[in-house]
Amino acid sequence: MHIKHLMEKNSFQSNSDFYTPTGIHVYFKDSLSDGVDIEKVVAKLESKIPRHLLEEIEMIIVGQFDEFMERSINAFYDSGTIYVSNVQDNNQDLYDDLVHEIAHSIESPHGYYLYGDEKIKKEFLAKRNRLHDILWNMGFKAPKSFFREIEFNQEFDDFLYKKVGYDKLSQVLQGLFINAYAATSLREYFATAFTEFYMHANHNFLKRVSPEVYKKINGAQKESTLDDAI
């Protein structure tokens, strides 16, 4: 996700490594921001997200990593581990980051269930096509091929955030995408919706804006659904 801090806060609390009830190892490379209770955050996470959707997560490492600045992110998932920034505004901020990376962790093992029928892809590309038309009419010209790509494209990302601008883009995307980040790639379209699903109990907004993704996430809560798809 896009980085929220360029400088670390001055106040930190000391933390000790621990294991969660589901066996996730939480390791502190660097101390977490003062006032952020990661044990409470992870407990909430494990109570909200079904256990079978957490099976890929073996470890959470809290700290600063070169990838954060290089890729303008503050969390990423790789090979069973979530790497998350130790600089957080509050518990909600940390919860958001962790849920988003859990979404990425399930894409590989459950990719056929999520993307096999291409319903999410078609929904995403239809929105991208609409975005192209809106921006074109506003004078922001870009090749239509940009809008047909489902993978992250740095040139397209620069067009959205540098040429169009985040503030203007957020206004344009209201009611079309959950937020501006959801428009950057198919994977982020799914992960942003997954985060929205587990961040808010009321799913009316998600169902209205991204109905196909909502159906997949709602179905993924049932382990039998995923088993049937394999």
The fraction of the chain above a pLDDT of 70, given in percent, is 91
- 118 strand-pairing partners: none
Backbone angles phi, psi at 43, to 5 degrees: -60, -40
Mean predicted confidence (pLDDT) in 10-20 = 69
Burial group, residue 100, by CB count within 10 angstroms (0-12, 13-18, 19+): buried
Confidence check: pLDDT of 229 > 80: no
Comparing 151 with 15, the larger pLDDT belongs to 151
- How would you list the strands of the sheet with 81-85, edge to edge? 18-19, 25-28, 59-63, 81-85, 75-78
Query: pLDDT value at position 166?
Result: 83
pLDDT band, very low/low/confident/very high, at 13 (cuts 50, 70, 90): very low
Confidence check: pLDDT of 5 > 50: no
Query: pLDDT value at position 15?
Result: 74
Query: What residue type is assigned to position 136 of the chain?
Result: W
Q: How much is the pTM?
A: 0.90
Tell me: the pLDDT tens digits for 99-115?
A: 999 999 999 999 999 99
Query: pLDDT value at position 71?
Result: 87
| Tokens (6 digits) for 48 | 């909200």
Confidence check: pLDDT of 209 > 60: yes
Q: Check: CB of residue 25 under 8 Å from CB of residue 80.
A: no
Confidence check: pLDDT of 224 > 70: no
pLDDT band, very low/low/confident/very high, at 72 (cuts 50, 70, 90): confident
Q: Which residues contact 107 (CB under 8 A, 6 or more apart)?
A: 114, 187, 190, 191
**Average pLDDT over all residues of the chain:** 91
Query: pLDDT value at position 39?
Result: 95
Confidence check: pLDDT of 10 > 60: no
Query: pLDDT value at position 227?
Result: 66
